[in-house]
Amino acid sequence: MKKEKFQFLRIFLIALTIALSGINCLTVAKQNNPDQDTKISFNSDIEPMLAAKCYQCHGPNTQKSGLNLHDQQSALHGGGSMKPAIVPGKSSESYLIQRITNENKTERMPPANREPVTPEEIRLLRMWIDQGADWPEKADPPVGNQLFKQDHWAFQPVVRPKVPILNKAADKAQARNPIDNFILHKLHKRGLSSSAEADRTTLIRRWSQTLTGLPPSPEDVEQFVTDQNPDAYERLVEQLLASPHYGERWGQHWLDIVRFAETSGFEVNTPRPNAWHYRDYVIQAFNKDTPYNQFILEQLAGDTVGADIATGFLVAGPKDLVGSPDIRLTLAQRMDELHDMINTTGMTFMGLTTGCARCHDHKFDPISQRDYYAMQAVFSGVKHGDRVLNSAEYEANQKKTKETKEKLNQVKNQLSKFEPLAFTRKTLIIDDQLPGKEKTSRTDVTTMMKIGGTSSYTSGKKHGERSDPGDLGRLPNIGKEYTWWKAAQKDVFTWNPRLSGRHQIWLSWGCGLSGRSNTTKALHTTDAEYHLDLDGDLETQDDRKLIAIINQQKLADGSEAPTELVGASGSKNLWSGLYAAGIHELHPTSRIILRGGSSNAPVTADTIVFQQAIDSLNSQEATPQLRPAVQTRQNSERFKPIEAKFVRFTVLETNSGQPCIDELEIYTEGSIPHNVALASAGAKAMASSTLPGYDIHKLQHINDGLYGNSHSWISNETGRGWVEIELAQKSAISRITWGRDQKGNFGDRIPTQYKIEVAVDAMRNWSLISSAEDRIPFVSAPKTNSSPKNNGGLFYPIRDLPKDAIMALKDLIDQAKALDEKLDKLVTDVPMIYAGQFDEPEELTHWLYRGDPFQKRDVVKPGGISTFKGNLNLDNDTLESQRRLKLAQWISDEKNPLTARVMVNRIWHYHFGEGIVNSPSDFGINGGQPSHPKLLDWLASEFKDSGWSIKSIQRLILLSSTYMQSSSPTKNGLEVDADCRLLWRFPPRRLAAEVIRDSILQVSGAIDLTMGGVGYEVFEPNTNYVRVYNPKKEFGPSEWRRMVYQRKIRMEGDATFEAFDCPDGGQVCPKRTRSITALQALNLLNSHFIVQQADLFSQRLLQETSQNISDQVHYGFQLAYGRKPDQEELQKSIALVESHGLPIFCRAIFNTNEFMFIN
């Protein structure tokens, strides 16, 4: 060993040891002896020593006695002793020095069982303190680890090596292409020889399984075995490479490498229904033999070159979707997300474990922490999420959407003319109970007697039933529940409206039969009395007057309630509707009293309504003037034109959580109303607060012109908050619209009580223009965001409208509904892909001390890894897409030493089960050494010279005599090279999960070879917030597609085949483990899938052969193994079929080693 190399190895090994023992790499401290004048550097002299000797007990993780020497403040203040550990300029007064130099061994730090501080280190510490204990606010930028020069083999340029010359005639005869020269050369050096060529039956099976993942059909085998043409091999390989199923097998390899899955992972593991496009892209890219450098470019920056779907690569990894207002959590999640992109990019394309440089310079490879953050800057504008797939369909869709929107706007404009004005009269609605609210004491109702019970209205949507949605002009059921008493001629309940002045009063009650359990089946009372007590004092009688006597068996309009009993199960309880009880003068203390009738039959109480009576009103109106209930989607507020400069929407109550508004639109008066609230119209938004930590809920979304939860504002106050729009100039406005989620997907966070005010002056002298007071109370209270249906009912106020106007209105409503539905469909028809969302970065990227997002250091420009000429000359104002493009160009550059090597090694790996380098995603110093370095470089050169054609490298491998060798073991081979790294035979191995499943389906004849599109499911559907994946118990033809099309759930696998080392999509998987377990055996013997396929296999044998068992067995062997049985096998098989049936034979065949192995 040369001295230099020896030295290098030594340093490397020490570093390795230190790294593995968990101590920071920086402990390799400087050994130079600075003289007194030398300025001691905290970063290079002091901190590494503190880290090595002190941090274990007094560092970022542990602070014994409360002292943290990692933190300047803590060091200056001291720990529990309250003595400053460091007194700048005065080493002798510094408690730290006193403790580390203490004569008393029990007092001395570090404790005796730890590594002591050396005298040299103490000297440095003293000098540093005496020089002022300079503790840089910002530590020096991390430097590339200079310990490791770049003489590692993989970092050298690829130079095409000479092909070794073979001397022996036998070798010359055997070598089919240069690959064999390299392999044979090395084998001879180790005293080994290669094996003879495998027979054609074995070869066609091997080529088929490797290239397409499917076994050849008996006909294919027959044809190949008897093919007399000299180019039979070449033609077969060509045919298989051209098969569309080639891309399915090789696409799967790539999907493993890039951790592709179709759910988010982590706690909620939510599906990504639009992620499958990327899978199809990968399959097609392999089928088309897309040049690899192009393939790289497309995956990193496909949006710039017309390959939109390819960027699914960037976001194929997991993402923690659990949101929080805790900024610590939100930042950490974002850092993890970017880390996944940096790490996967580095490992996938360059075989570099870039992720290791997140918290410190890479411990083995020349990747600095700064390089890591340069790559973070490249990806800093990339976010997870769906994006529109730009295509002709999309353009057509957009055109239609635009037209439909315009039509809808016209209709809505016309409709708005029919909308009642908001807040024209003081309105009060008092229920006997407020549904969904705590039924605690309320000041606006009083119970005078013990309640007999509470009953719900009969469920249903018919007139008066619980979910009666109302109709044009007819109110929906606003009662929901009613209260009842059995109390003849007694006061039972009062409503206290606290109003003064002339008011119209409407009453409602529960009508029908009394409670279901009542055996007397008594009807509700026929003469319930409603009194108005003017002073509210029930003792005084002279101010009390009877305002109505109500037959509670009838509806408010006087029609009979159905009295028929519905079997023994109960009866109908219907809401009465509103009964006009006259205009009355009220005082603030006045009460409406409900009094039992003449008999003991139940008397019921429900909602009553008060509305201010305008002076000109002489007789009471039949119905109050009410507006529809608040809806999730759009709500409209119409009012008399008013001048406004400021408009404020104040939320007073929500159905749950902090309120959300997706868009607030303010329209001017006039024949063509304009939305003057838009930011693009110069309006400015302010709010009482905004929920922190969510990009999709920022204040700017309130007036960005975009609907839906992803473009909404949420306040940071539970149930409250206000948002204000300052218009560009004072305008006359007459209508405002707003919604919680105008795309209709969310039903939580709805403002249910609110007020809207306007002001013209900067002093904000507010005038109230609208509120929820005159709206029908919000009743449906969806708790979660999974139930968007918040139907405000069909009610549309049409009081005072002539009949023909009602007809016109009806028509408009129908038109609006139809257009709304059309628009919904257009929106869902937009082709979306889970391929990332790209925005220009909002913030500069800093490198983070120890990877901690709260310890920002200086700004880093976008770039790659500097050692590999990755300085991309980009600036912080470089466009986001250009950053990715430049990174891709750098990675795929001809001169990049790693890219081609890494890919040809992967190709090799998937042919032989092991790469020339056995760590396919790590070509760094800690990765594997190549078994055939020259062959690797020769292949890399060929790869580039072929125009980065993957298939051209495969042709070379597949048609080499190395690949075509027999797999039979030899004694010498096993002794010298048990692992077969030198390839003295073709290494046999167990098939991958996908190949096993697909082969079973192929052999049974059940396989559905439909390519592309949405995958099939192997789990029962469910919509839990945290998804639960229960395996399906039965399978049918829809699950019999190739396994690459199985919807890939992160962290959950196919119940039968996951056990065969399927990666779980949590981490990248460049190389599958290949284990053998009892659970695999159980799955292959007993799973529903296998038993069903064995059955189908046996049916196929019966249908496609004669009744002769021997024929059936023959065909079974040919389908499953590509060969005929020998006599012994035939006899045993026939015996099995005769005594146990054909399906049992088929099940056994699927379990045999011969079926499960590639030979």
Partner 1 sequence: MPKHSISHSGRRLLSRRTFLQDTSNGLGAIAMTYLLNSQGSLSAQTKQVAIQPDIDTQKPLAARTPHFVPKAKKVLVIFCSGGFSHVDSWDYKPELIRRHNQPMPGASDLITFQGEQGNLIQSPYTFKPRGESGKYISDLVPNLAELADGMCFIHSMTALKNTHGPAENQMNTGFALDGFPSMGAWISYALGTENDNLPAFVCIPDPRGVPQSGPNNWSNGFLPAVFQGAPFSASKPIYNLARPKGISRDDDLATHGFLQFMNDKHLEKFPDDTELSARVSSYELAAKMQLSVPDISDLSKESPSIIKQYGADDPDPIRASFARNCILARRLLEKGVRFVQLFNGAYAMGEGVGNWDGHKTLKAQYDIHAPILDKPAAALLRDLKSRGMLEDTLVVWATEFGRMPTFQMGASGRDHNPYGFTTWMTGAGVKPAFSYGATDDFGYQAAENIVTVYDFHATILHLLGLDHTQLSFYHNGIQRRLTDVHGHVIKDILA
Q: Where in 1039-1098 is the site for partner 1 (CB under 8 A)?
A: 1050-1052, 1055-1056, 1059-1061, 1064-1070, 1073-1083, 1085-1088, 1091
Listed residue (451, 309, 315, 303) closest to 379, CA to CA? 315
The reply on whether position 218 binds partner 1 by CB under 8 A is: no
Stretch of 826-834, 847-855, 1008-1016, 1148-1156 contacting partner 1, by CB under 8 A: 1148-1156
The upper half-sphere exposure of residue 935, i.e. CA atoms within 13 Å in the direction of its Cβ, equals 26
The reply on whether position 112 binds partner 1 by CB under 8 A is: no
Pick the closer one to partner 1 by CB: 716 or 889: 716
The CA distance from 111 to 100, in Å, is 9
The reply on whether position 437 binds partner 1 by CB under 8 A is: no
The count of residues in the chain is 1159
- β-partners of residue 474 are 471
Q: Return the residue of 589, 791, 882, 919 that touches partner 1, per CB under 8 A.
A: 919
Pick the closer one to partner 1 by CB: 536 or 747: 747
Report 271-330 residues binding partner 1 (CB under 8 A): 318, 320, 322, 324-329
The reply on whether position 1157 binds partner 1 by CB under 8 A is: yes
Q: Return the residue of 4, 7, 11, 17 that touches partner 1, per CB under 8 A.
A: 17
Q: Return the residue of 612, 882, 926, 941 that touches partner 1, per CB under 8 A.
A: 926
The reply on whether position 653 binds partner 1 by CB under 8 A is: no
Q: Cβ 715 to partner 1, closest distance in Å?
A: 12
Pick the closer one to partner 1 by CB: 199 or 643: 199
- Site string (928-947) toward partner 1, x via CB under 8 A: xx------------------
Pick the closer one to partner 1 by CB: 328 or 730: 328
The CA distance from 299 to 281, in Å, is 10
Give me 994's structure tokens. Answer: 């996908």
The reply on whether position 115 binds partner 1 by CB under 8 A is: yes
The reply on whether position 469 binds partner 1 by CB under 8 A is: no
Query: Exposure of 507 by Cβ count < 10 A (0-12 exposed, 13-18 middle, 19+ buried)?
Result: buried
Identify whether 110 is preceded by a cis peptide bond (ω within 30 of 0). Answer: yes
Q: Cβ 254 to partner 1, closest distance in Å?
A: 16
The CA distance from 631 to 635, in Å, is 6
Report 678-707 residues binding partner 1 (CB under 8 A): 692
For residue 710, give every residue at least 6 positions away whose Cβ sits within 8 Å of its Cβ, in sequence order, or none. 696
Report 884-913 residues binding partner 1 (CB under 8 A): 913
User: Hey, how many other C-beta atoms are within 10 angstroms of the C-beta on 1024?
Assistant: 11
Listed residue (710, 617, 712, 626) closest to 664, CA to CA? 712
Pick the closer one to partner 1 by CB: 415 or 1148: 1148
Query: Exposure of 472 by Cβ count < 10 A (0-12 exposed, 13-18 middle, 19+ buried)?
Result: middle
Report 121-160 residues binding partner 1 (CB under 8 A): none
> Is residue 1139 within a helix (H) or strand (E), and if so which, with residue range?
helix 1127-1140
The reply on whether position 347 binds partner 1 by CB under 8 A is: yes
Pick the closer one to partner 1 by CB: 1010 or 1075: 1075
The reply on whether position 186 binds partner 1 by CB under 8 A is: no
Q: Mutual orientation of helices 1088-1104 and 1078-1086 as an angle, nearest 10°?
A: 50
Pick the closer one to partner 1 by CB: 262 or 1052: 1052
Size of the site for partner 1 (CB under 8 A): 118
Q: Cβ 1064 to partner 1, closest distance in Å?
A: 6
With beta carbons less than 8 A apart as the criterion, state whether 793 and 470 touch: yes
The reply on whether position 526 binds partner 1 by CB under 8 A is: no
Pick the closer one to partner 1 by CB: 38 or 61: 61
Query: Exposure of 513 by Cβ count < 10 A (0-12 exposed, 13-18 middle, 19+ buried)?
Result: buried
Report 947-986 residues binding partner 1 (CB under 8 A): 967-969, 974-975, 978-981
The reply on whether position 530 binds partner 1 by CB under 8 A is: no
> Would you call 920 helix, strand, or coil by DSSP?
coil
The CA distance from 691 to 685, in Å, is 15
The reply on whether position 786 binds partner 1 by CB under 8 A is: no
Q: Cβ 1049 to partner 1, closest distance in Å?
A: 10
Pick the closer one to partner 1 by CB: 373 or 1029: 1029
The CA distance from 1010 to 1017, in Å, is 15
Give me 481's structure tokens. Answer: 């529940």
The CA distance from 87 to 76, in Å, is 7
With beta carbons less than 8 A apart as the criterion, state whether 76 and 86 touch: yes
The reply on whether position 196 binds partner 1 by CB under 8 A is: no
For residue 311, the 8-state DSSP code is G
The reply on whether position 336 binds partner 1 by CB under 8 A is: yes
Q: Return the residue of 1029, 1040, 1045, 1097 that touches partner 1, per CB under 8 A.
A: 1029
The reply on whether position 631 binds partner 1 by CB under 8 A is: no
> Would you call 190 helix, strand, or coil by DSSP?
coil
Report 22-81 residues binding partner 1 (CB under 8 A): 22, 56, 61-64, 66
- Site string (362-391) toward partner 1, x via CB under 8 A: --x---------------------------
Q: Cβ 392 to partner 1, closest distance in Å?
A: 38
Q: Mutual orientation of helices 1109-1121 and 1127-1140 as an angle, nearest 10°?
A: 120
For residue 365, give every residue at least 6 positions away whose Cβ sits within 8 Å of its Cβ, in sequence order, or none. 148, 152, 352, 353, 356, 924, 925, 926
For residue 951, give every residue at least 6 positions away whose Cβ sits within 8 Å of its Cβ, in sequence order, or none. 241, 289
The reply on whether position 1032 binds partner 1 by CB under 8 A is: no
Q: Return the residue of 706, 1014, 1026, 1102 that touches partner 1, per CB under 8 A.
A: 1026
